[in-house]
Amino acid sequence: MPRVLLIEDDAAVRDGVTLALRRRGHEVAAAASGEEGLEALPGFRPDIVLLDLMLPGKDGFEICRLIRAERQLPIIMLTARGDDLDVVLGLEAGADDYIVKPARGEVLEARIRAVLRRTAPPADGDTGTEPGPAPVETYGELAIDRAGLVVTKNGQDLALAPSEMKLLLFLSATPGQVFSRQQLLEHVWEHSYHGDARLVDACVMRLRTKIEDTPRSPRYVQTVRGFGYRFGPL
């Protein structure tokens, strides 16, 4: 069962969310501030972090960056709908997804599952004997190891956040094919409702800063005006 670290300053929300998630079988550790959450991180080793943006002391964006600097574990922001700037800043700080407060337990559960599914290695039928290293696809200077979930550029490992990895794998699976933001939202983030293109845009931007030589004129993840994004063609 996934281990969830909840960083939330309001005691009632903390208790409510903890209760809701425990009922669904998660192991939950709760922290009342970002600093406390950072301290709990190595000991608790969560699979996913639920991060409130409005925190005393270091705010959620700062905490998000600090976590991202060391780890690539999934982070979901807890935010308020319509605080558009918060959402965008949170996504830029490296969050993988966000949940709008107030949210029902089942919504929390669904988002957590979706993010975790995104980053789980594909369940191959034959987990037995490996006939050698899985084929690594190379595109220009990029090498993508789908099985090992490793992306290298010029031999250097790239630290990609879960949603960035998922997005890159999805796009590079069919190089040259254009996907609308809507399609990407549904496939990568599993958002059933629509209209949250910012998730896609923020993620594309972060991905470009890591894989492109010049993020402003991208080679790998290209923009197709009026339609969406595609991988290549190189």
Query: In the complex with another protein, which residue's Cβ is closer, 37 or 119?
Result: 37
Q: Which is nearer to another protein, 104 or 131 (CB)?
A: 104
Report the nearest approach of another protein to the CB of residue 230 (Å): 10
Q: Looking at the chain, how many residues does it have?
A: 234
Shortest distance (Å) from residue 227 CB to another protein? 6
Shortest reach from residue 137's CB to another protein, in Å: 24
* Shortest CB 207 distance to another protein, Å: 11
Of the pair 119, 222, the CB lying nearest another protein is at 222
| DSSP, residue by residue, 123-156 | --S--S---SSPP-EEETTEEEETTTTEEEETTE
Binding site for another protein (CB under 8 A): 10, 12-13, 15-17, 19-20, 23, 78, 80-82, 84-85, 87-89, 92, 101-106, 108, 180-182, 192-198, 201-202, 204-205, 208-209, 215-218, 223-229
Give the helix ranges, DSSP H, for 24-149: 34-44, 60-70, 84-92, 105-119
170: Cβ–Cβ under 8 A, 6 or more apart, which residues?
A: 179, 184, 187, 188
Residue 149 or 180 with smaller CB distance to another protein: 180
Quick check: 143 and 136 in contact, CB under 8 A? Answer: yes
| Pairing of β 48-52 and β 75-80 | parallel
